Amino acid sequence: MSGVVMKDVIKKYGDVQVIHGIDLEIEDGEFCVFVGPSGCGKSTLLRMVAGLEETTQGTMSIGARDVTSMDPAERGVAMVFQTYALYPHMTVRDNMGFGLKMNGYPKAEIAEKVAEATRILKLEEYLDRKPAALSGGQRQRVSIGRAIVRGPEVFLFDEPLSNLDAELRVEMRVEIARLHKEIGATMIYVTHDQVEAMTLADKIVVLRKGNIEQVGAPLELYRNPDNKFVAGFIGSPAMNFLDGTSTGDAIALDDLDGHYRLPVGLPAEGTQVSMGIRPEHIEIDPAGKTHTVELTEALGGVSFVHLTSETGEKIIVEERGDVRSEEGAQVGMNFPLERAMLFDRKSGARIR
C-alpha cells in the first residue's frame, strides 16, 4: 500500500501562504495529475510530497506512514524534473546507477537494476553514451531510469516533457503511460498542459491559486465540471462562454436573440449567468446571419472556425466533413440545449 494522503496541507513562505489547506487521497497505483496555470502551486505541492519543501501545517502520508517531517531520502519517492539534471561526464549506465552506488549497493545488484530500467525504457543502445550524445527525449528517459532503479513507492514528475519539442512530447507521453502500466507504482505528475493531464491521468486534480478546484477522472471533469474555471481549463480549444441573464424560466443571451430554456434549475430572474458550450457541440448554420467567420484553422480532419458576433463576442466552432466555412462568410450557429452548461457569472459556480 503506497497511496498518498494529504490532510489540510498548508504551505507558507514567511507570511505568504501559497497552499491553502489541501485534502487529497491518491490511491495506491494511481496515476494522479496536478494541473493548473503557472504559479498555482503544483510544484510546491509535489515538492512537499517529496520532502523538498517543508509542510507548514497539516499531514502528509505515504502508505501507512506519516512522512510529514521525514527527510526526502526516507520517504520512498523518486522525482523526475523538467531539467534532466544528468551528470555530463558520466555514461548513461553510470548516470542511472550513481545513486545506488552512493548508497553502497553491491555492484551486481546495481547492474541488475540498471539492466531492468534499460529494458523498460528501451535504452540498450545508449548505455555507453554520455548525455551530450543523446537527444532531449533520450536524456529524459535516462532521468526516468534513474528514478526507476531506486524502486520508489511513489514516482513524482514535475513537468518532465516541457523541454521537448512537440513531436517528442507526444512520444514521451505515450512512453510514460506505458511505464505506468508496466510498473504499476503510484505516480504524481505535474503539468500545465491539459492535454497531458487528460491523456495520462486516472485522476486529475485541478489547482488554482493554491486551492483544489475539482478532482476527478479526465472525462468526468470534461463532461461535468463543477465551475467555470474547470470548464474553461479542461478541453481544447476551450469551452465558449456566452454572457446572459436569467429571465426566471429561460436564459436571455446578451448577443443572440431568443430565449434558451436550458434543462437545469434556472436561477432567479435577473441573475447574471454565463452559458458554456464546447466548440465540438456547435454547428454552423450557413443560412444564419448572426456571426462573421473571422478565421478558420484547418488542421486536416478538423477545422477550428473563429466566429465574431456584431458586438465582438468570440466563439470557436469545431467543424468536420468535406464542406468547411470560408473566412468572411456570414453564418449562424446552433447547439443542442442539453449540451450547454450554465454558470453563475459572479461566483463561477455551475448551475445544474
Nearer to ligand ADP, 43 or 227 (CB): 43
Give, for 332, the enclosing helix (H) or strand (E). strand 330-334
In 3D space, the residue among 63, 38, 48 whose CA is nearest the CA of residue 8 turns out to be 48
CB of 255 to ligand ADP, least distance (A): 34
Site for Mg ion in 72-131 (CB under 5 A): none
Which of 43, 138, 191, 227 lies at the binding interface for Mg ion (CB under 5 A)? 43
In 3D space, the residue among 146, 152, 155 whose CA is nearest the CA of residue 86 turns out to be 146
Nearer to ligand ADP, 46 or 316 (CB): 46
CB of 5 to Mg ion, least distance (A): 22
Among Mg ion, ligand ADP, none, what binds residue 39 when CB lies within 5 to 8 Å by partner kind? ligand ADP
Q: Burial, 103: exposed, middle or buried (Cβ in 10 Å; 0-12, 13-18, 19+)?
A: exposed
CB of 42 to ligand ADP, least distance (A): 4
Site for ligand ADP in 6-25 (CB under 6 A): 13, 16, 18
Nearer to ligand ADP, 83 or 334 (CB): 83
Site for ligand ADP in 123-142 (CB under 6 A): none
Q: Burial, 65: exposed, middle or buried (Cβ in 10 Å; 0-12, 13-18, 19+)?
A: middle
Which of 15, 38, 257, 287 lies at the binding interface for ligand ADP (CB under 6 A)? 38
In 3D space, the residue among 311, 342, 317 whose CA is nearest the CA of residue 332 turns out to be 317
Which of 8, 39, 85, 288 lies at the binding interface for ligand ADP (CB under 6 A)? 39
Question: Residue 313 carries which DSSP code?
Answer: -
Which of 6, 9, 33, 40 lies at the binding interface for ligand ADP (CB under 6 A)? 40
Among Mg ion, ligand ADP, none, what binds residue 13 when CB lies within 5 to 8 Å by partner kind? ligand ADP
Among ligand ADP, Mg ion, none, what binds residue 311 when CB lies within 5 to 8 Å by partner kind? none
In 3D space, the residue among 83, 87, 66 whose CA is nearest the CA of residue 75 turns out to be 66
> Which residues are bridge partners to 349 per DSSP?
227
Nearer to ligand ADP, 17 or 292 (CB): 17
| Three cell numbers written together for 50 | 517529496
Residues of 303-315 as b/e, b for ≥16 C-beta within 10 angstroms? bbbbbebeeebeb
Which of 43, 143, 186, 325 lies at the binding interface for ligand ADP (CB under 6 A)? 43
What does the alpha-carbon distance between residue 175 and residue 182 come to, in Å, rounded to a whole number? 10
- Residue the block writes with cell 480549444: 237
**Number of residues binding to ligand ADP, judged by CB under 6 A:** 11
**Straight-line distance from the first to the last Cα atom of the chain, in angstroms, rounded to the nearest whole number:** 37
| Three cell numbers written together for 286 | 450557413
CB of 24 to ligand ADP, least distance (A): 15
Nearer to Mg ion, 43 or 296 (CB): 43
Which spans of this chain sit near ligand ADP (rule: CB under 6 A)? Answer: 13, 16, 18, 36, 38-44
